Amino acid sequence: MNYIIIIISAIFVNNIVLAKFLGVCPFIGVSNRVETAIGMTGAVTFVMVIATIVTYLLQHYILIPFGISFMQTITFILVIAALVQMVEIVLKKASPVLYQALGIFLPLITTNCAILGVAILAVQNDYNLIESVVFSIANAIGFGMALLLISGIREQLKLVDVPEPMKGVPIAFIVAGLLAMAFMGFTGIV
């Protein structure tokens, strides 16, 4: 039952983008096309899950036993940076089209605060390893869902008459605000 609560909470109630406002840069920057959003979701999911596992192990088997928990943030950032470099190398070889489509936003996963936030929240919530993995997968699903929602809406907005000053990022922020308000309706479920 605890896992179901973690999943529902991470996807809907405490959505990493729409409730915690972490990962807004790729949320706005990569949400122009659904295909790009799907690729970014895959990359973020992979990095988020692996980073949570590695940071959990580092936290519980190195940082806490040696009394250097104050090094948590810098350690987690270094782990995430290394993982993003791995993803970048793999994408460049396996899917050059997706690599080109993600462009500058792929290296930005390194500084995506959603990934760091999930790793830190898993430790702060005192989850065990399996709960941490479930938490990171659920947050990745929530991130992907929010990204796909806004990218679909932004593709539809290209077909309607939006006032010139509102085109692009301004209307994306308005849509993001409306999505965040819609997700507030899930508050109190868990």
pLDDT of 177 higher than 70: yes
**CB 129, CB 61: distance < 8 Å:** no
**CB 97, CB 17: distance < 8 Å:** no
Cβ-proximal residues to 127 (8 Å cutoff; 6+ apart), any chain: 6, 56, 135
Q: What pLDDT is attached to residue 169?
A: 87
SS3 of 118, please?
A: helix
SS3 of 173, please?
A: helix
Closest CA to 23 of 9, 8, 43, 6: 43
Count of beta carbons in the 10 Å neighbourhood of residue 35: 13
pLDDT digits (tens, 9 = 90+) for 61-104: 999 999 999 999 999 999 888 888 887 888 888 888 878 876 66
More confident residue, 31 or 170: 170
**CB 37, CB 162: distance < 8 Å:** no
Count of beta carbons in the 10 Å neighbourhood of residue 176: 23
Cβ-proximal residues to 79 (8 Å cutoff; 6+ apart), any chain: 51, 54, 55, 58, 119
How many residues are listed for the chain in this entry?
190
- Report the share of the chain in percent with pLDDT over 90: 59
pLDDT digits (tens, 9 = 90+) for 138-158: 999 999 999 999 999 999 998
pTM for the model stands at: 0.88
Distance CA 54, CA 52 (A): 6
Query: Angle at CA 155, nearest 5°, toward 118 and 94?
Result: 60
pLDDT of 188 higher than 90: no
Q: Report, as an integer, the average pLDDT of 126-143.
A: 96
Distance CA 190, CA 178 (A): 22
**What does pLDDT average to over the chain?**
89
Q: What pLDDT is attached to residue 75?
A: 94
More confident residue, 143 or 113: 143
pLDDT digits (tens, 9 = 90+) for 14-70: 999 999 989 888 888 878 888 888 888 888 888 899 999 999 999 999 999 999 999
**CB 90, CB 47: distance < 8 Å:** no
Residues 116, 42, 152, 159: is their CA dihedral positive or negative?
positive
